[in-house]
Every structure is written in C-alpha cells, then in structure tokens.
Amino acid sequence: MESIDNFFVLYDTFGDDFDFIGSEIDCIRSETFAGRLSMDIITDHDVKKPSPRWTEWERICVGIDFFGVREMHTKIVSDKFIIKKFEIKSNTDSYSMKVVSENGDFIIAEYGAGGMVQNIKPL
C-alpha cells in the first residue's frame, strides 16, 4: 500500500501478510471541501504484536484518512460492507482506490496527497 504513508504500522501489528479482505467498513466520512475521506475498518485478523497498553480485544478498529480526494463514487445499499477487494493503484500524479464489498457495493476514489493510518484500537 504505497500510497498510505505509514502502512508499516499495520504490518507491525498484524504481520507482513495483512490485508483488509474480510474486514468490515464500519464508518465512512467525506469532507468534500477539505478533500478528505476517512474510514473506520473493523478487522478480525490475528494480532501478532499488540500494543503494551492493550489488555484484551475481540476485534480491532483501524482508522485511515485519505487526503487530496478529487473524486469519489459510492454505492452502499447493504447493512454491512464486508471487504472482498481493496486495491490502490498509482497513477502519474494521483492514486486510485477501489474497495468492493461481498454484496457488490463499492467505494471508488481518486486522491493525490496520500493516506495515513490515524489509529489502531482494540474493541
């Protein structure tokens, strides 16, 4: 995930084989004029190296922000958005993100400034 500046924190927590497949998008927020897209993703992936502050957890919430969003299209009609496909491609001066759910819902965005994992917290 080259466009997410600190994606290594997810690898540090979950291991090198981490991806979002099977995780659930719990919340998505778009700030149109700020060019910002935020997602809270709930995952059941095994935690390989938990924070020393974590005592117990059932699932983990990962908050990610994408900056410089130029265009976004969504179709979300299902109650749950379980990720089937999560891909980010690099273009000449921007990135294209496509997230597809098991039910065919989708989030497609084009952004230029990159992304940042804002928090990882136990639930």
Give the model confidence (pLDDT) of 9-46 as tens digits.
999 999 999 999 999 999 999 998 999 999 999 999 99
> Does the pLDDT at position 3 exceed 90?
no
DSSP 78-95: SS-EEEEEEEEEE-SSSE
- Residue-wise pLDDT for 45-102, tens only, equals 999 999 999 999 999 999 999 999 999 999 999 999 999 999 999 998 999 999 999 9
- Residue-wise pLDDT for 42-58, tens only, equals 999 999 999 999 999 99
First to last CA, the chain: 24
Per-residue pLDDT band at 123 (split at 50, 70, 90): very high
User: pTM value?
Assistant: 0.93
The alpha-helical segments, DSSP class H, found in 1-123 are: 8-14
Among 22, 13, 57, 66, CA closest to 41: 22
Per-residue pLDDT band at 120 (split at 50, 70, 90): very high
